[in-house]
A = this chain, B = another copy of it.
């Protein structure tokens, strides 16, 4: 059965503008590759549902979303009216947890046509994955305040790591590395300073590595690892990291390849006990929202990752070829990449290149 039920959540700001282009390319791919997409759109966003109801989603959001094969997500956030921690914990971060999307997967790849901020790097030089733990760790909601409003005020937030949660993401990283040419895992740690959780993380990495004798591994403290992303980005293959460290590395990596505006991400439940969610790395970008100039490639690349996850590998690969063709052409790419196209023109160009 190649009919896929997709929950579509465009969100706020440029999320609303790039989503139609993602859908355009998805539909074109469906008709070309002989599958179909059934869409159910939701208005779970600051400027829609929240504006009307004072919360990000209805109490029965799970029932309303139903049981789709995947969630196609734009970007949520509108800090002028809703503080970010309210909007994000009320949607994206809630999906990650409640749907147990325990892997956040992001490519770091130097693409043709995308100006690289690092000196002397060419497409092909940089090509690795960041595998981020996506449900626990530093993003816990455990903690609180003492003596609020006084000089003695103390605020505490707990990082919580479980063997269950850590081992499964490490396993995913080693499995992924085993399928690649270089078969190498780099672990992000900070065991010299964060002296309770991180030495334990290192131990779990060593344990997991024993099961993958063909995969090599090393580790870097997060401070020097960010430096290595800038100085030696060609040395990485699969980088595995805790929730916070993965968050940092998966913005820094795309920045080093100049692709922060075009990078995608998958919030993946590898056990398929609930839907996975695919979204561009960029956020809702209030500063450029409403102008129709946002780059739709992050949303489109996310569509390719989603199709890959759904088993439509040929269509996914075709989309990526179309993306590369369009990025290489100044007349077809958007202004952030010194191109001339607007959001819709760029999206149509990718659909046509398909």
Contacts and interface: CB of A to CB of B under 8 A. Distances in A.
Contact of A223 (B120, B194, B248): B248
A330 B246 CA distance: 38
Contacts of A157: 158-159, 194-197
User: How many of these chains are in the complex?
Assistant: 2
Contacts of A192: 77, 84-85, 88
A254 B226 contact: no
Interface in A183-205: 190-200
A159 B196 CA distance: 11
A251 to B, nearest CB: 4
A60 interface: no
Given A116-B119, A158-B156, A223-B252, A144 B196 contact: yes
Interface in A230-253: 230-231, 243-244, 247-248, 250-252
Interface of A: 77, 83-85, 88-89, 93, 116-120, 138-139, 141, 143-145, 150-164, 190-200, 222-224, 226-228, 230-231, 243-244, 247-248, 250-252, 254-256, 260
20 contacts: A85-B195, A116-B119, A117-B230, A117-B231, A139-B193, A143-B196, A145-B200, A151-B163, A152-B163, A154-B162, A155-B160, A156-B159, A157-B195, A157-B196, A157-B197, A158-B158, A193-B243, A222-B247, A227-B255, A228-B255
